[in-house]
Chain A
């Protein structure tokens, strides 16, 4: 069964450092997303991406964040200068279509710990 894969599974970084979280969406999917889940809290939308550009982003997704699809298979989330409050589980997701009702498939997540 096709799945979304994320690497690494756990990343520890020092405050102020840049991190790149990587995702390989399902191959025929067109929409890509990043969500995050701070420990014990709800899953929050960060950004959606379609046709090589951001289609929507939340207020969490400030100038410190960026996304890229560098090579047609990977989908990355970059945090330029990490803060302690960026510590969370980051989930990548992808979906097929644009009708707004299709299921999103989620990766296993990357746990980011900022120290």
Chain B
């Protein structure tokens, strides 16, 4: 069935370090892919999305490219800030608007 696997956390980085959070998916069709972010004490916010192969989603310095050949949607940011500390969820959307979420990766950025 459809599913999402993302790297386990927590991930701890120093400010201005490069970030990669891996996400791979399994789907029978052609899903849309999303990254959602959950800041402490808050709900889920859309960070970026890509709706077809080779699309690149980007927002707030974060990027992810929809790679059909490797079934991946890795999240990257060139220089993280303390304010990026949050839990990041990779998600797949396919059929009937049902999201499949990964388990979440907690990012801690230290000054």
Contact call B46/A48, Cβ cutoff below 8 A: no
Contact call B103/A95, Cβ cutoff below 8 A: no
Known contacts A42-B103, A43-B89: A104-B43 contact under CB 8 Å? no
The interface bits of chain B over 8-43 (1 if a CB of A lies within 8 angstroms of the residue's CB, else 0) are 000000000000000000000000101010000011
Given contact pairs A33-B98, A103-B49, A104-B93, a sample of 5 additional A-B residue pairs in the complex whose CB atoms are under 8 Å apart: A33-B99, A42-B101, A48-B96, A100-B96, A106-B45
Interface size class of B (residues with CB under 8 A): 20 to 34
Contact call A35/B93, Cβ cutoff below 8 A: no
The 9 closest A-B pairs by CB, nearest first: A108-B43, A43-B101, A106-B44, A42-B103, A101-B32, A109-B43, A56-B96, A106-B43, A31-B97
CA distance in complex: A87, B9 (Å): 23
List, in ascending order, chain A residues with CB within 8 A of B32's CB.
100-101
CA distance in complex: A33, B100 (Å): 13
Of B43, B44, B89, B97, which one neighbours A95 at CB under 8 angstroms?
B97
Contact call B103/A41, Cβ cutoff below 8 A: yes
List, in ascending order, chain B residues with CB within 8 A of A43's CB.
44, 89, 91, 99, 101, 104
Chain B residue nearest in CB terms to A103? B46
Q: How many A-B residue pairs have CB under 8 A?
A: 57
Chain A residue nearest in CB terms to B46? A103
B95 contacts partner chain A, Cβ-Cβ < 8 Å: yes
Contact call B97/A48, Cβ cutoff below 8 A: yes
List, in ascending order, chain B residues with CB within 8 A of A104's CB.
93, 97, 99
Interface size class of A (residues with CB under 8 A): 20 to 34
Chain B residue nearest in CB terms to A107? B43
List, in ascending order, chain B residues with CB within 8 A of A56's CB.
96, 98
A71 contacts partner chain B, Cβ-Cβ < 8 Å: no
CA distance in complex: A100, B97 (Å): 5
Contact call A102/B97, Cβ cutoff below 8 A: yes
Of A45, A48, A108, which one neighbours B100 at CB under 8 angstroms?
A45
CA distance in complex: A45, B42 (Å): 18
Chain A 4-26 residues near chain B, CB threshold 8 A:
none
Chain B 43-95 residues near chain A, CB threshold 8 A:
43-46, 49, 51, 89, 91, 93-95
